[in-house]
Amino acid sequence: MMAEPIPVAMGQGSSCWGCFQSLVDMHLRLADVLPLLDIKYWQAVVDYKLEDLENYPDKSIVVGLYEGMARTEEDVHLLKLMRQKCKVLVAFGTCSCYGGIPGLANAWDIEECYDVKFRENKTFSGGKVPTENLPPIEPVVHPNSDYVDFDIYLPGCPPTSDLIVKAITALLEGKELELPTYTVCHYCPREKKETPIPEILRPFRGNADPDRCLLEQGYICLGSATWGLCEGQCVSKGVTCRGCFGPPPPITQDQGAAAMSMLGTYAPLEPEKLKEQVPDPLGCFYRFTYPSSRLGRMRIRREELKEASEE
């Protein structure tokens, strides 16, 4: 006899839907999983309304996945509601775990973001910031963990389908999800000779030796500072790791600082030379984790103090 389907909910904050796309990309394996799910809420897929989620009894949903970060007041409301209604809440994907690429917006204040997105982008909204029927925007992106506690962090931009299958299977069977804690370097087949880097190379420069560590050849690879849950899928195909799974456990580590420290060890270059050769350090080292990093925390604090002084 088939087991009773398990109540689940998928909540989407501000995000690109790539993580849920990766879930759908399970392809035929979905056929095994879908009958086990009683989907109670999933904005883009099932026609339930927010009100339905609000009316479910607390903790009546067994597993909830929350994708994206909290850019709007509505995102924050949904995130808190998911916590209230779900027994197990998963931070699903890198935006949800650390703030992700959209969290880089914290490098500018909200008015500058409006300038780029709306006021100077005349084809999009006639040069005006739209407000009608839209939820208010949060002035700064906080990591989701500032609002709620998660039971599981499942990073990746997006998480791989294999990782999702493993996680969902364990959760539906009520088992503890055990994830390896290795970095990407652990899975990388390239040889390391521990030699210094004479020059930092942009990815389009030169032809990389296919067998040598990319970092040692001068290409910035964040493999040593990144949780290897993808099993090194980029570096094994000749592309540097950009760090999309965030830091290895404990995930409160500062991935960008660890990557810069690794670069400092391998590249004995003058700071001025390094600045020239790494034109976008924030995007390079903090592309996926800025809001939850130490640097990003300072920025959030500054915005909060500014807001408080304006009140």
Q: Could you say which of 19, 86, 90, 259 contacts ligand SF4 (CB under 6 A)? A: 19
Nearer to ligand SF4, 100 or 296 (CB): 100
Nearer to ligand SF4, 6 or 107 (CB): 107
- Measure the CA angle with vertex 12, ends 241 and 4; round to 5°: 105
Q: 189-192 long-range CB contacts below 8 Å, 24 or more apart?
A: 189/232, 189/236, 190/214, 190/235, 192/216
Position 95 contacts ligand SF4 (CB under 6 A): yes
Residue 221 Cβ vs ligand SF4, minimum distance, rounded to whole Å: 3
Q: Could you say which of 83, 142, 242, 299 contacts ligand SF4 (CB under 6 A)? A: 242
Of 67, 56, 75, 80, which Cα lies nearest the Cα of 7? 56
Please, where are the H alpha helices in the chain? 18-24, 29-33, 50-55, 73-85, 94-98, 110-114, 122-125, 161-172, 184-187, 255-266, 271-277, 281-285, 294-310
250-269 per-residue burial string, b: 16 or more CB within 10 A, e: under 16? ebebbbbbbbbebbeebbeb
One-letter amino acid at 14 equals: S
Q: Could you say which of 145, 224, 253, 255 contacts ligand SF4 (CB under 6 A)? A: 224
Position 65 contacts ligand SF4 (CB under 6 A): no
Position 244 contacts ligand SF4 (CB under 6 A): yes
3-state secondary structure 144-157: HHHCCCCCEEECCC
| Contact (Cβ atoms closer than 8 angstroms) between residue 266 and residue 233 | no
Q: How many CB atoms lie within 10 A of CB 86?
A: 28
**What is the total count of residues that contact ligand SF4 (CB under 6 A)?**
35
Q: What string marks each residue from 284 to 303 as x (binds ligand SF4 by CB under 6 A) or -?
A: --------------------
Which residue is it, tokens 């030796």? Answer: 209
Question: Among 37-45, 72-80, 105-113, 239-247, which window interacts with ligand SF4 (CB under 6 A)?
Answer: 239-247
Position 213 contacts ligand SF4 (CB under 6 A): yes
| Contact (Cβ atoms closer than 8 angstroms) between residue 6 and residue 13 | no
Q: Could you say which of 233, 257, 274, 283 contacts ligand SF4 (CB under 6 A)? A: 233
Position 259 contacts ligand SF4 (CB under 6 A): no
Nearer to ligand SF4, 56 or 197 (CB): 197
Q: Could you say which of 9, 197, 230, 284 contacts ligand SF4 (CB under 6 A)? A: 230
Query: Residue 111 corresponds to which tokens in the numbers above?
Result: 């008015």
Query: Segment 140-199, which members bind ligand SF4 (CB under 6 A)?
Result: 157-158, 184-185, 188, 190, 192
Site residues for ligand SF4 per CB under 6 A: 15-16, 18-19, 67-68, 93-95, 100-101, 157-158, 184-185, 188, 190, 192, 213-215, 221, 223-224, 226, 230, 232-235, 241-245
